Amino acid sequence: MIPLSWLQEAEQRIVPHIRRTPLVYDAENKLYLKWENHQITRSFKLRGALNKVLALQDWERQQGLVAASAGNHGQGLALAGNLFEVPVTIFASENASPVKLAAIQALGAKVFLIPGGYGEAEAAGLAFAKQSGSTWVSPYNDGQVIAGQATLGLEILQDPDIVVPPATWVVPVGGGGLISGIGIAVKEGQFANWQTSNNQLPHTPTKLVGVQSNASPFFHAIYHTGSQASTRELASLADGLAGPVEVGAITIPMVNHYVDDFVLVSEDEIESAVAYAFHKYHEVIEGAAAAALAAVLTNKVVARPVVVVISGGNIQPELHRSICARYEPGTKE
């Protein structure tokens, strides 16, 4: 497991380079919403990529940085590479979101598109890193990346606006880096060890729930059955959560240890949550983020109050407009 000291060190490293994103309480629904779509790259992935790159030795950075990404990790790594003026190469599926790919390239990274899904892109990226001697930066299978993602949990724990301790945290899951980091912050640090600014939160057991789309339920299968071997992948609006988990990933035992439940949502439920976030909160969120909100809106998670991690907002504008029009209040599907 990752020591708590790594989380503190990650926070100190990345704070000068990131935004502290809003945490808003919806009293009507008893929801705390962590709007990580307000992050610099519009995704939490910047946290882990930055922490990893800042923790590397200079010679490791100078060899060049390589990763596979559905889009958001690639943006985070490209921005981190810019800090040190080192080359960044991203391997992505040929079906990756064009808006995410364009953002990666705008930050100066080289992008290779690989036939197939995320799993094929990851395999190609790992092979390239080994052959070229570049430094591989996994989006989830890395202790320093996980520690960086955990800073999102620390921000929530330290937020002065949390007066009533949340009973449940709901987190979207792809490779498991975010929920693993939050698990450390919430379950190991707990309220007793992490002093909040209002200093009023008691030491309270907290439930941690992971969410995936039923179109790509790889980690859900690992959590509930111990294997993803028979899992099949379909196209999903939650593209940031898609694809298999790297064999032997350190997130597998961490998710099994920290996560209390793991649920699935449908594509229709994800789309509805995208529209709900826009119509109710005037927020643009992507499918991966909407998966977590969908689990709450459909009562797959019922304990309140609940923290919902809105992990990102990188969605094709025309797709977002179409979804919001179809699910506009008063419109019958």
So what's the pLDDT on residue 107?
Answer: 96
So what's the pLDDT on residue 199?
Answer: 47
pTM over 0.85: yes
Domains located in the chain, CATH noted: 4-43+142-326 (3.40.50.1100), 46-136 (3.40.50.1100)
Q: What is the pLDDT of residues 183-227, one digit of tens each?
A: 999 998 654 344 444 444 444 568 999 999 999 999 999 999 999
Q: Report the distance separating Cα 210 and Cα 102, nearest Å.
A: 29
Is the Cβ–Cβ distance between 121 and 91 less than 8 Å? yes
Tens place of pLDDT per residue across the chain (333 aa): 799 999 999 999 999 999 999 999 999 999 999 999 999 999 999 999 999 999 999 999 999 999 999 999 999 999 999 999 999 999 999 999 999 999 999 999 999 999 999 999 999 999 999 999 999 999 999 999 999 999 999 999 999 888 777 889 999 999 999 999 999 999 986 543 444 444 444 445 689 999 999 999 999 999 999 999 999 999 999 999 999 999 999 999 999 999 999 999 999 999 999 999 999 999 999 999 999 999 999 999 988 899 999 999 999 999 999 999 999 886 655
Which pairs with CB-CB distance under 8 Å and at least 24 residues apart come from 91-94? 91/66, 91/67, 91/121, 91/122, 91/124, 91/125, 91/128, 92/68, 92/121, 93/117, 93/118, 93/120, 93/121
